[in-house]
Amino acid sequence: MMPATSLTLAPTGVGRLHCHHFDAGSCHSCALIETPYRQQVSDKESWCREILAEAAPQLWLPSFVDGMAEFRNRAKLAVGGSAGQVTLGILDQEFHGVDLRDCGIQSEAIRAVTPIIADFLDATGLEPYDVSARRGELKFVHVTAAPSGDLMIRFVVRTQHGLDVLRSHRTALFDAVPTATVVSVNRLPEHKAVLEGSEEEMLRGESLRMNLDRVDLHLRPQSFFQTNTDVAIGLYNQVAAWVDSVAADNLWDLYCGVGGFALYCADSSRHVTGVEVSEQAIESAKISAGELGIDARFLVGDATEFAEEHLGGRAGDPAGLERPDCVIVNPPRRGIGARLSTALEDSDFEHIVYSSCNPVSLAKDLARMPSYTVEQARIFDMFPHTKHLEVAVLLRRRQ
């Protein structure tokens, strides 16, 4: 048995996560793991303040951190090794499998199930995909863990043969992992550096119930959710507190995904509209809203096109939507871009809440909205041991 990744604390209370994979040079995904965690957070704060210097917040709230180990709720495991002896983890520079089933940043539920999944794949006799030779079947396994301990397991294979074999063995997996409430097989026939294809066959269930402190979200196989559940809850609660503080009656949540921000902010007196390009995500958000019995409307559409259609001085509103007094945006790393920034700048919205995973694109977008001042900002350390972070800001239109 491989030695487990261990957590060690310095006498000063400054924690470090010790990883034998990093020490051996076999995995450097956690590039900052040798830096004491408190220093990691301090460095991120300094960098973020520097990037946002031109739009400096009036108040920086204390960074939200939750721990440096067992925080990931989703594992994206490359399959390596050979038939009957698979590895689950990453591929090295020569495309050889590096087994990370004991990875210290994965949640306890994922760490517990990964060896079981490896044994299951060994029993199928399927060959791991050989990147250099472009042959084989098993490419990836994606595992998502809910706070309840329920799991979503997705297998990514190359051909219909791999799908058929996994389908024929599914009962053995269900027996071995009864907490796997959602199981699917994704087919990725192309030889390219992506983690999944467009075809998905469900073997069990449809969506994973992600039970948070106030809201149950429903994640389908290709849904996006923050990789750190506890920090995501902190982010949702902070944004909801900001929305409450500005007494918003009508709220738009653009790039709403499965509805996290909108659902946390909705109440009996507030009208909430969420917009997301993914039809599956919108269906999931509607399920959550129905369970909560709240006034929320979720629409399929591009966030920028939606804003341009309902703003810009156009007469009337084809969807019958009331103009919001607060807008939440939570875009991908590229940010909201020039078109949406311009639409918001030209609007009369009093408040904007912007949640960003890329301070550089955030700074560019803020520069395009000079009519707004940044009242508050807060860093959320979703990704310990890396340079990545989430930062949320509350904007108010200048008087």
**Average confidence (pLDDT) over 211-227:** 94
CA distance 285 to 257: 8
pTM of the model: 0.92
pLDDT for position 15: 72
pLDDT for position 314: 43
**Arithmetic mean of pLDDT over the chain:** 93
Given a cut of 70, whether residue 317 has pLDDT beyond it is no
Given a cut of 60, whether residue 23 has pLDDT beyond it is yes
**Average confidence (pLDDT) over 222-243:** 96
CA distance 375 to 149: 38
Given a cut of 60, whether residue 2 has pLDDT beyond it is no
Catalytic residue flag (residue 357): yes
pLDDT digits over 60-99, tens only? 999 999 999 999 999 999 999 999 999 999 999 999 999 9
Q: Choose the catalytic residue: 27, 48, 326, 357.
A: 357
pLDDT digits over 122-144, tens only? 999 999 999 999 999 999 999 99
pLDDT digits over 135-170, tens only? 999 999 999 999 999 999 999 999 999 999 999 999
CA distance 270 to 281: 22
> Which domains, and CATH codes, for the chain?
43-67+214-397 (3.40.50.150), 74-209 (2.40.50.1070)
3-state secondary structure the chain: CCCCCEEEECCCCCEEEECHHHHHCCCCCCCCCCCCHHHHHHHHHHHHHHHCHHHCCCEECCCECCCCCCCECEEEEEEEEECCEEEEEEECCCCCEEECCCCCCECHHHHHHHHHHHHHHHHHCCCECECCCCECCEEEEEEEECCCCCEEEEEEECCHHHHHHHHHCHHHHHHHCCCEEEEEEEECCCCCCCCCCCEEEEEECCCEEEECCCCEEEECCCCCCCCEHHHHHHHHHHHHHHHHHCCCCEEEEECCCCCHHHHHHCECCEEEEEEECCHHHHHHHHHHHHHHCCCEEEEECCHHHHHHHHCCCCCCCCCCCCCCCEEEECCCCCCCHHHHHHHHHCCCCCEEEEEECCHHHHHHHHHCCCCEEEEEEEEECCCCCCCCCEEEEEEEECC
pLDDT for position 312: 55
**Average confidence (pLDDT) over 293-319:** 78
Residue with tokens 């998502």: 144
Given a cut of 50, whether residue 11 has pLDDT beyond it is no
pLDDT for position 271: 92
pLDDT for position 321: 66
pLDDT for position 158: 97
pLDDT digits over 235-270, tens only? 999 999 999 999 999 999 999 999 999 999 998 889
**Average confidence (pLDDT) over 270-289:** 95
pLDDT digits over 330-377, tens only? 999 999 999 999 999 999 899 999 999 999 999 999 999 999 999 999
